[in-house]
Amino acid sequence: MKRYSAFAIAREAIRDHMGWERAWGNPEPRPKYDVIIVGAGGHGLATAYYLGKNFGITNVAVLEKGWLGGGNTGRNTTIIRSNYLQDASAAIYEKARSLYETLSQDLNYNVMFSPRGVMMLAQTEHEVRGYKRTAHANALQGVTTEYITPSRVKELCPIICLDGPRYPVLGALWQARGGTARHDAVAWGYARACSAMGMHIIQKCEVTGVETTDGAVTAVNTNRGTIGCSKLGMVVAGHSGQLADMAGFRLPIESVALQALVSEPIKPCMDVVVMANTVHGYMSQSDKGEMVIGGGADGFNNYTQRGSFHHIEETVRALVETFPMISRLKMLRQWGGIVDMTGDRSPILSKTPVDGVYINCGWGTGGFKSIPGSGWAMAELMANGSSPLADEFSLDRFREGRFIDESVAAGVAH
């Protein structure tokens, strides 16, 4: 695979751009692979990438029922931060955030990581206490965050109204090296790098069954035939329950649609990401100028990847208190993605009751930020049977009552 570079752009400019290669291949499935990953979202592709990069395992296929990056990875609002409360969470999210810092260079693909800073507003005394506690925990964990005053909030984000009618801004938890990245580019960058290592990314290939012999995985059934494998990674977010069902085990997980919307593009007015958990909404401005707005999850379990009118009203009504200027914006489009929610709002990276089958799911409303760290840990788990970053997140924790409670850090999502 030819490298992307300034020189390559100049070369192609004088060749009428006829020399660019396809970013990834379109192969026919082989009869058998060492590893099959189901799901070509960010987590599945990152797992494949680090299997190749860190462990030299390249006889890998990533099977995707739709198009790569077409699940939650291509539908999220791209907030990246690592200011979680529990040690195990801070470790994996900070690993991911630090990998994002150099991901473009690593993948030779511009993922547009923008560490513009993320602030989580404290709008009740309860949140003030909670975020101060998280800032102290982060200091011990080596995650750089700080608790900032309302005047600093206003300095960083002038369009905020500090004296909202119900919830004045009392301060914020600020992570200066948090930010955003371009979601499609993350999926595309990993896909291109996997393809360059000789891995197969097979789109429009839906897994419909899992074959086992003596309790160990041997193959998957797909709409393109049966494909053998020695190890199987299930990385399908909201469809994890369905995949687990195919392999004969159950997961402590619920699937629900999470919605987001964007406004018409406007001139640059906000160069940080703001999350307002009490009023329940968050906002950032995209490079195109649109205000990217996220709200909550549907109140009932479902698999419908679309938006609904009452969410626009609920989310915008909540945010208008903190950002009065958005009351004059037209909203352009909205959408939904199927997120996978565990009871403790922490992910599952684990072996399963079926030998050779591993699962990575439960990232819920906030798994875009963790893609590089999750892929790194999942690859280690699949290659070595354990991983310091993943082991705390095993399925056993639900049996042992060893929950990693992040319902505050992940409460409003993202």
Ligand X SMILES: Cc1cc2nc3c(=O)[nH]c(=O)nc-3n(C[C@H](O)[C@H](O)[C@H](O)COP(=O)(O)OP(=O)(O)OC[C@H]3O[C@@H](n4cnc5c(N)ncnc54)[C@H](O)[C@@H]3O)c2cc1C
Q: Which is nearer to ligand X, 246 or 325 (CB)?
A: 246
Instruction: Give the distance, in angstroms, between the CA of residue 192 and the centroid of all CA atoms in the same chain.
Output: 18
The angle, 0 to 180 degrees and rounded to 10, between the axes of the packed helices 125-141 and 87-101 is: 70
Contacts of residue 85, Cβ cutoff 8 Å, sequence gap at least 6: 133, 134, 137, 405, 406, 408, 409
**Judged by CB under 6 A, which of 4, 12, 59, 66 binds ligand X?**
66
When asked if residue 345 is in the footprint of ligand X (CB under 6 A), the reply is no
The site that binds ligand X (CB under 6 A) totals a number of residues, namely: 40
Structure tokens belonging to residue 20: 């660019």
Instruction: Please state the closest distance from residue 15 (CB atom) to ligand X, in A.
Output: 34
Q: Report 35-54 residues binding ligand X (CB under 6 A).
A: 38-44
**Judged by CB under 6 A, which of 53, 65, 231, 397 binds ligand X?**
65
Instruction: Please state the closest distance from residue 79 (CB atom) to ligand X, in A.
Output: 3
Contacts of residue 188, Cβ cutoff 8 Å, sequence gap at least 6: 23, 24, 68, 69, 109
Helix, strand, coil percent content, the chain, rounded in steps of 5: 35, 25, 40
Among 60-68, 310-318, 319-327, 395-403, the segment contacting ligand X (CB under 6 A)? 60-68
When asked if residue 206 is in the footprint of ligand X (CB under 6 A), the reply is yes
CA atoms within 13 A on the CB side of 328: 3
When asked if residue 237 is in the footprint of ligand X (CB under 6 A), the reply is yes
Structure tokens belonging to residue 349: 């990276």
Q: Which is nearer to ligand X, 170 or 191 (CB)?
A: 191
Helices in 222-357 by DSSP H: which ranges?
240-247, 309-322
Residues 150-189, one symbol each (x = binds ligand X by CB under 6 A, - = not), give ----------------------------------------
When asked if residue 367 is in the footprint of ligand X (CB under 6 A), the reply is yes
When asked if residue 111 is in the footprint of ligand X (CB under 6 A), the reply is no
Q: Report 70-99 residues binding ligand X (CB under 6 A).
A: 70-73, 75-79
Eight-class DSSP state of 329: P
**Judged by CB under 6 A, which of 52, 164, 281, 294 binds ligand X?**
294
Instruction: Please state the closest distance from residue 268 (CB atom) to ligand X, in A.
Output: 20
Instruction: Give the distance, in angstroms, between the CA of residue 313 and the centroid of all CA atoms in the same chain.
Output: 25
The angle, 0 to 180 degrees and rounded to 10, between the axes of the packed helices 87-101 and 371-384 is: 110
Binding site for ligand X (CB under 6 A): 38-44, 63-66, 70-73, 75-79, 206-207, 235-237, 239, 243, 258-260, 294, 337, 339, 363, 365-369, 414
